[in-house]
Each structure stands twice: as C-alpha cells, then as structure tokens.
Amino acid sequence: MTVRLDEVSKRFGRQWIIKQLSTDFVSGRTYGISGRNGSGKSTLLRMLAGQLSPSRGRVSYTLNGRTVAPDKIYRYVSWTGPYFEIVEELTLLEMLTFHFELKSARAGLDAASILDRTGLTAYAQRPLLDCSSGMRQRILLATALYADTPLLLLDEPTVTLDATAAGWFAEELRQFSENRLVIIASNDPRDLASCEQVTDL
C-alpha cells in the first residue's frame, strides 16, 4: 500500500492545524509523526484513516497498484488511540471476539489466541470496566496489531503502558509489521524507536 499526501491542509474554524503537507508513505516501512500537543498528530491519523477529509489538498491510496477510494479505505486500515471509546460492559474476551467478527484477524489467530498474546488470558472474563488503563490499552492495541490489514495506524500506543507492557508492544509490533504500512503518532521515544522516518508537525 502507498498513501500519498498532496499539499494537505486541515483547519477547524479559522484555525489551521496542518498546512500544505506533502509526503508518501509506503508499505514495508514504519513512520513516525511527532509534534507538540495540538500540532495535528491525531488529526493527521484521522485523515489517513479516512475519517476526516482535508480542507485543502488530497489524500490518495494505492493498494497493489490499484487506486482505493477514500470512502473505502476503512476496509484496509486498523488503528487505535487512547481516546477510543469501548463498550465497558464487555469482558476482554467478548471485546476481542466482537471486534474480530467485524474485521478479520491475521492468519492463524482468533480471539482466544490473541488474548493469550496480550498476556491477559487470566482476566478473560473480567469486564473492561474493571480493568486497569494499561490492560485496556493492551486490548485496544490488540484490535489493531492483529487485524489483517495493510495499513496500521497507532496513536500514542504506549501512553498508559508500564515498561514491561511497552516492551511487549515493541516486540509484537516488530512481528506484526512485516509487509504493512505502519504510522505511529507520538512524542514518546519508546513509540518512535522503530520508526525509519519521523515527520515533525
């Protein structure tokens, strides 16, 4: 997959958040997006995911040499951020089962094996409402990391993770980023350590 930004700008009201950004993102690489709070990192990810349209400029997608319309890109993207809303009454296993019924998991994985990879099997029947922020973040990351999509977008992936959990994330990202286009928005050096190119907004 290739994602191309041509003179992309975004504003809310009279405030320009992103101005005239042009760049290409290509599969097989991991990119970082950094910048101060309010610089537009999350806004850029939302545009890349097809959830927001640019105020000016164009975001285009190519998959295996074929153009993908922006309103169809949701089929090929998995992403998450700490602000994502979840159904807190669901247990960890129910959350993963529900999610991967909507978006296929990578070959050989199912909800139970994915839960095992997060290290949270012992808490399979615990409602998300009763989980720590770090446990919830692992589950959110799992929904993106293990989805069978060519485009993976991660917003502040280790924001609520302790050192051990951040190490888990780094290893899982290494294993499940092959042949994917990965874009990480963060100011945390742990998140950007695997990035081959970092754009500062």
Is pTM beyond 0.75? Reply is yes
Q: What is the pLDDT of residue 84?
A: 87
Residue 33 pLDDT greater than 90, yes or no: yes
pLDDT by residue (tens digit) across 39-74? 899 999 999 999 999 999 999 999 999 999 999 999
Residue 82 pLDDT greater than 90, yes or no: no
At residue 27 the predicted structure's pLDDT band, cuts being 50, 70 and 90, is very high
pLDDT, greater one: 82 or 109: 109
Q: What is the pLDDT of residue 94?
A: 97
At residue 124 the predicted structure's pLDDT band, cuts being 50, 70 and 90, is very high
First to last CA, the chain: 23
Q: What is the pLDDT of residue 75?
A: 94
DSSP 119-178: T-GGGTTSBGGGS-HHHHHHHHHHHHHTB--SEEEEESTTTT--HHHHHHHHHHHHHH-T
Residue 85 pLDDT greater than 90, yes or no: no
Q: What is the pLDDT of residue 137?
A: 95
Determine contact, residues 77/71, Cβ cutoff 8 Å: no
Q: Residue 8 has which token pair?
A: 């992309």
Q: How far is CA 82 from the centre of its chain?
A: 10
Residue 3 pLDDT greater than 90, yes or no: yes
Q: What is the pLDDT of residue 45?
A: 96
The fraction of the chain above a pLDDT of 70, given in percent, is 100
Residue 170 and residue 189: Cα distance in Å, rounded?
12
Mean pLDDT for the stretch of residues 156-177: 95
Angstrom distances, CA of residue 199 to CA of 7, 33, 183: 15, 5, 10
At residue 154 the predicted structure's pLDDT band, cuts being 50, 70 and 90, is very high
Helix (H) or strand (E) holding 35: none
Determine contact, residues 7/22, Cβ cutoff 8 Å: yes
Q: Structural domains in the chain?
A: 2-200 (3.40.50.300)
Lowest mean pLDDT among 80-89, 108-117, 153-162: 80-89
